[in-house]
Amino acid sequence: MKRAVFPGTFDPLTLGHVDIIKRALPLFDELLIAIGVNADKETMFSLEERIQFINNTFGDKTKIRVKSYTGLTANFCKEENAQFIVRGLRNSIDFAYEQAIAQANAKVNGVDSVFLICSPEFSHISSSIVRDIARHGGDYQDLIP
């Protein structure tokens, strides 16, 4: 079974995330959407709300599971018997950041990374932009599912 992990904080789930998830689904037998929990990072939405956002969007997809985790993503992959990490890339800056992490994950933990380039219509969307718009009372509904 080809199992992949799509990690993130998903604070909140955006249309960019949805794009990557939909495009990753045909590549794997199971896609585990893994919500990373970092005690040092303050989120706008609770873990329960973030899980609900994902379930509301993908609840009908039997190939998707949602789970939270702490610690290293590669260790979580090993615990879940996932051979792959899916990462969405918006631009060359994302690639430069993700490349070294991917190489370390492959070398140290034997987990390969699969990069999917974000569809152009979603390349401007990030959770941090959505949070900033929300904090300032702006309308962000066109950026989330």
Q: Which of 17, 50, 87, 113 is catalytic?
A: 17
Query: Among this protein's residues, is 128 annotated catalytic?
Result: no
Q: Which of 50, 87, 90, 113 is catalytic?
A: 90
Query: Among this protein's residues, is 127 annotated catalytic?
Result: yes
Strand, helix or coil for residue 43? coil
- From CA 117, how far away is CA 1, in angstroms rounded? 24
Q: Which of 50, 87, 113, 127 is catalytic?
A: 127
Structure tokens at 85: 């990490």
Q: Which of 41, 92, 107, 136 is catalytic?
A: 41
- From CA 31, how far away is CA 96, in angstroms rounded? 24
Query: Among this protein's residues, is 41 annotated catalytic?
Result: yes
Kindly give, in sequence order, each residue whose CB lies less than 8 Å from that of residue 16, ignoring residues fewer than 6 positions away.
88, 90, 118, 122, 123, 125, 126
What positions carry a catalytic annotation?
17, 41, 90, 127
